[in-house]
Structure 1
Amino acid sequence: MAFKVIQTGVLALIQDLGRRGFHAIGLSNGGPMDEYAFRLGNRLLGNDDNAAQIEITYGLFSLEATAPTTIALCGGDLGATLNGEPLLCWQTYKVEKGDRLAFQQPKYGLRAYLAVVGGFQCEPTLGSVSTVIREKVGGLTGKGEKLQKGDLIPFEAFFGALQNNVPRFAIPDYSSKEIPMVLGYQHDQFNSIQVAHFLSSEYKVSQSFDRMGYRMEGRSIAYDGAGIVSEGIAYGSIQIPKDGQPIVLLKDRQTIGGYPKMGCVTTWGGSLLAQKMAGDKVQFSAISVEEEEQERVLFHARLDTLSRRYSTVA
């Protein structure tokens, strides 16, 4: 009982919420680039939050079901179809044996998440199935490989029916340019004019972006300090390298680095940024730690509200 990969697409990876506790040996967390969409996919199906899904980047990916199940699609709209019929994001669909699911190219957003009832049944590596290609860990084989043509991605057959959808108020606006972030302890090593330039400028996503990080193009930010000693890198860190063009480090980031950091994007901000592609424009919006905590509480409150809503659906 599995989905068989028919067409590999640009990049399709097995992900759960990530690998914890291995920075000391140089392993990043991995996990879904758009954590909000990932969590909503599992909530739609009544899964554990950590149930494995497929993260599909850009599309051009197709699968065939070898057993019945119910799926959930969340995240970017990659023109998904079921047996040639178009599907909407942010809801569930019944899939029968022999059905074909295909993803075209992005209509909005960049990454879609495919969840099944019970999650995909892959063997964890160091406590997680998250695929990190650079580190050769996780995924279907445990070796950090992206999904290949002919791969069988196992799941437990589900013969019931779940008809759920995410209400409009909980669907993110991926067209928004605003990326919330918290200024970090090193931001006061930049002069106030440079901080103001950073927060008032619009940046464009460069061609150099991936699961490790997003390099920005726009106003150059100067750093007058003498540099810093290499230190641990938190999720969402906004590094300012020597050329002054910000780099936002995300799920597959390196674990240490020596560039000064303006701050960190929030989990919500990282989810929004992960749906941007080369040429898209963003602007960083500074919020306080207290506001970030409120944002996180709201993030989980939405999920909990939706879980209660779905628990009544048979």
Structure 2
Amino acid sequence: MRQLELHHLRCIACVAKHLHFSRAAEELEIAPPSLTRHIQEAERLLGVRLFHRTKRSVALSAAGEAYLADITPALDHLARGAERAALAERGELGRVEIGYVASAAYAGVLRQAVGGFRAAHPGIDVSIREVPMDRVPSMFNDGQLDVAFVRPPMQLSEGIRVTTVHRDTFVLALPEDSELAASATLAPARLRDEWFVLPEQESGTYEVARRGRFVPKLGPQPGTLAAVLACVSLGGNVAVVPHTLADCIALPGVVYRPISGKPVPSEIALAYRQFERAPAVRLFVDHVKRR
């Protein structure tokens, strides 16, 4: 059995709006006889008369008024759905799941990227969470992350690309009562006998050891940079950390010293899928790259 279709509902609503078949047909961009057939067909399928028609006037019947009250919200909802679909296609609606390492927040990268994006695209839901770097690859694979602010180098799955968004250097975090703390700068070779707390990004520690021509003695590996500094504050360990921390975190018992010689580079990068399909995510990646 045939049922009413969307074009029937639009015809009914438009005739009810104008109470004039010719004007309604003009708005719908169809011929008046076609509009008349659609209304007659709708009335036949419903088994009621929707409009009282004479040669000079059109008026809603009681059945028409009752039916219009129910179909108007449905048509409005469909119109909003079409608008939201168009916005989503343009990337103006959607959701972006962002992971970050703590230093991205310390360096201001997260605030600048996410804050600016939210202001420019209020219709996009942006979710952020701090994540351990070693979990980033699996979270990408599982779809838990769309993008991530990380510290290269790190092993990522095929299809994940990285773009540098912040350049920094590594410095030393020392216990304030260490003999080394008396020096304004420290040559890598002077750290030969020290125990190192190992941050998530290990490259700085190994590069300092390489320049000092020694194999580093590794102590705790507590995870986050805040936990690394807590270990340093307890004494007996040093750590190679991003210079950003020296500007942001003043922990009791911890001092920072530059590493002499050529700066040891440290970076923050945005990791993202090379062939990302979600328009909102692509918009975020483009936004960060432009900055």
Class of the TM-score when normalised by the shorter of the 2 chains: under 0.3
Normalising by structure 1, we get a TM-score of: 0.26
Asked which structure has the greater CA Rg, the reply is 2
Normalising by structure 2, we get a TM-score of: 0.27
Which one has a larger percent strand, Structure 1 or Structure 2? 1
Which one has a larger percent helix, Structure 1 or Structure 2? 2
